[in-house]
Amino acid sequence: MTLLSDESTLQEFGLPKGSMTLVDRELSEKMQEKTNGFEKKITTGGSVANA
């Protein structure tokens, strides 16, 4: 999980807060480049754990 200090990164990529959005490879790579230096944290949960 990438920790965001605010919602500007979500807005930059047009992603609604608290949602799951499927993206193509190009957008995924852009998002990874943008968030590469952000603090990351590993946690349990997500849609598989909730099912």
Check: CB of residue 38 under 8 Å from CB of residue 8. Answer: no
Flag whether pLDDT at 51 surpasses 80: no
Instruction: Map tokens 């200090």 to a residue.
Output: 5
Q: 24 pLDDT exceeds 90?
A: yes
Q: Does residue 28 carry a pLDDT above 80?
A: yes
Q: What percent of the chain has pLDDT over 90?
A: 29
How far is Cα of residue 5 from the mean position of the Cα atoms in its chain?
A: 12
pLDDT band at 1 (very low <50, low <70, confident <90, very high): low
Q: Give the model's pLDDT for residue 50.
A: 65
Residue 31, pLDDT > 70, answer yes
